[in-house]
Amino acid sequence: MRPANLDLTTPAVLAAILAAAALAASFAAPAMQRVVTEALIYVVVVVGLYIFCGNSGVTSFGHVSFMIIAAYVSAILTMPVQKKHVLLSLPAGLEQLHLSAAPSALIACAADGLVALAIGWPIMRLRGVVPSMATFALLIITHVVAQNWKGVTGGRQALVGLPLDTTLWTSLACAVLAIGIAAWYQQTRRGALLRCSREDEVAAESIGIHIARERIVALVISACISGLGGVLFAHFLGTLNPNTFYLDATFLTLAMLVVGGFRSLSGAVLGVVVVKTVSELFRSLEEGVTLWGTDFAARAGMQEVALALIMLVILIFRPEGLFGGTEIGEILGRRRRSSHSSDATA
């Protein structure tokens, strides 16, 4: 299944960059550590999103549902039994169940995989923008269920007391894992087949590519990874309510993917870095910053407006994103080759 020229550079470089960032943050103030941890979690989520959208070309508005589902599953499994008894009404076995972080994360992601399979099976046959609309419907359905199923999710009430298992290093590890899986998948034959269908559905079908099947495979992998991101988030915030992951999160993660360039893994990761930096900038501006003796404070809403404007500018002037669909490995490979050829002529 392995192609002739395996690109190990891209995941290695990306992992190295993230590791460097984590290392730097570990010497910084706790506030900065939180920012970097959150960014790493977003890397997991957006890489998950990329695995599906980038390879299939289908925009998914519903990946946040996978985050919600995994987050709640993990919450139920890891919350202190006392709290569960008070906030939720679960069957006795489930209520008494108390697992540690790793197994519950695994179960949560598996749950996502099953949901992805169930929803993907009928939907991924559809053409054009219809599957995207279906993912949007999935988002709404998940949200409505989460808001109203008081016994299981606590309804609109926040679930509190989630163990804060997400550290800088666990999120780094998960980010590297996500990148590794994404890099592996897109270099398999399956991934390549899916990308054929991205360019031209009709042509791909005519040469026998089973588009629905490839999409489902990508969706399942992608759901598990985005779900992992959801779990990380829940155990980073310590609380969870249905609005934690809904339209704003959907927009943010899509923006990260679009800005970096949704056709490459490097783009996905870069997008997270850029968008997170911009939003952090505005967040601290909103808290007020003193420059040259005057106080500046951005108003609420400015961050979102700025992000939306950036996204629109990219979409209009550089729709392929900042990275334009190329991988770091390709760029470095080209430089190496051109420096070799200049050596040859010297």
Partner 1 sequence: MNLLQTAIDAVNLGAIYALAALGVGLIFSVMRLINFAHGELITAVGFTVYALDGQPLVIRLGAGLLAAVVLALLMERTAFRPLRRANPATLLVTSFAVSYLLQHLVVLIFGARPIGVSLLPELSDSVAIGELRLPLLEIVSIAATLALLGGMVFFFRRRPLGIQMRAAAEDFTMARLVGVKANSVIAAAFAISGLLAAFLAFYQVAQSGTISYRMGVDVVLIAFVAAVVGGMGSLAGAALGGLLVGVTSVGLQTFLPAEWRPYRDAFLFGLFIAFLIGRPQGLIFGKAHRERV
With a CB cutoff of 8 Å and minimum separation 6, the contacts of 346 are none
Nearer to partner 1, 273 or 307 (CB): 307
Interface with partner 1: number of residues (CB under 8 A): 46
145 belongs to the binding site for partner 1 (CB under 8 A): yes
98 belongs to the binding site for partner 1 (CB under 8 A): no
Number of alpha carbons in the 13 Å side-chain half-sphere of residue 185: 27
Q: Least distance (Å) from partner 1 to the CB of residue 245?
A: 16
With a CB cutoff of 8 Å and minimum separation 6, the contacts of 154 are 87, 88, 241
Stretch that binds partner 1, among 92-100, 143-151, 213-221, 280-288 (CB under 8 A): 143-151
Can you give 73-105 as a three-state secondary structure string?
HHHHHHCCHHHHHHHCCCCHHHHHCCCCHHHHH
Nearer to partner 1, 58 or 228 (CB): 58
Q: Among 114, 140, 173, 192, which residue interacts with partner 1 (rule: CB under 8 A)? A: 140
Stretch that binds partner 1, among 37-45, 64-72, 138-146, 287-295 (CB under 8 A): 138-146
Residue 250: φ, ψ to 5°: -60, -45
254 belongs to the binding site for partner 1 (CB under 8 A): yes
Question: Do the Cβ atoms of 32 and 216 come closer than 8 Å?
Answer: no
Q: Among 144, 164, 289, 297, which residue interacts with partner 1 (rule: CB under 8 A)? A: 144
Question: Do the Cβ atoms of 96 and 88 come closer than 8 Å?
Answer: no
Stretch that binds partner 1, among 3-11, 51-59, 76-84, 325-333 (CB under 8 A): 51-59
The Cα-based distances of 180 to 11, 48, 81, 157, 275 in angstroms read 6, 11, 35, 37, 22
Nearer to partner 1, 99 or 145 (CB): 145
Q: Which amino acid is at 327?
A: E
Stretch that binds partner 1, among 213-221, 247-255, 286-294, 331-339 (CB under 8 A): 247-255
315 belongs to the binding site for partner 1 (CB under 8 A): yes
Interior angle at CA 211, CA 206 and CA 213, nearest 5: 135
Question: Do the Cβ atoms of 267 and 321 come closer than 8 Å?
Answer: yes
115 belongs to the binding site for partner 1 (CB under 8 A): no
Nearer to partner 1, 40 or 219 (CB): 219
322 belongs to the binding site for partner 1 (CB under 8 A): no
Task: Specify the pairing of strand 294-296 against strand 289-291.
Answer: antiparallel
The Cα-based distances of 128 to 53, 57, 122, 161 in angstroms read 13, 10, 15, 43
Nearer to partner 1, 59 or 222 (CB): 59
Give the Cα separation of 151 and 143 in Å (integer): 15
Provide the residue count of the chain.
Answer: 346
278 belongs to the binding site for partner 1 (CB under 8 A): no
258 belongs to the binding site for partner 1 (CB under 8 A): yes
Token pair of 29 as six digits: 């103030």
Whose structure tokens read 């996502």? 112
Q: Among 138, 178, 232, 234, which residue interacts with partner 1 (rule: CB under 8 A)? A: 138
Nearer to partner 1, 30 or 128 (CB): 128
205 belongs to the binding site for partner 1 (CB under 8 A): no
133 belongs to the binding site for partner 1 (CB under 8 A): yes
Q: Least distance (Å) from partner 1 to the CB of residue 201?
A: 7
Whose structure tokens read 């906030």? 87
Q: Among 96, 148, 157, 341, which residue interacts with partner 1 (rule: CB under 8 A)? A: 148
**Contacting positions for partner 1 (CB under 8 A):** 57-59, 61, 119, 122-123, 125-130, 132-134, 136-138, 140-141, 144-145, 147-148, 201-202, 247, 251, 254-255, 258, 299-302, 304-305, 307-309, 311-312, 315-316, 319
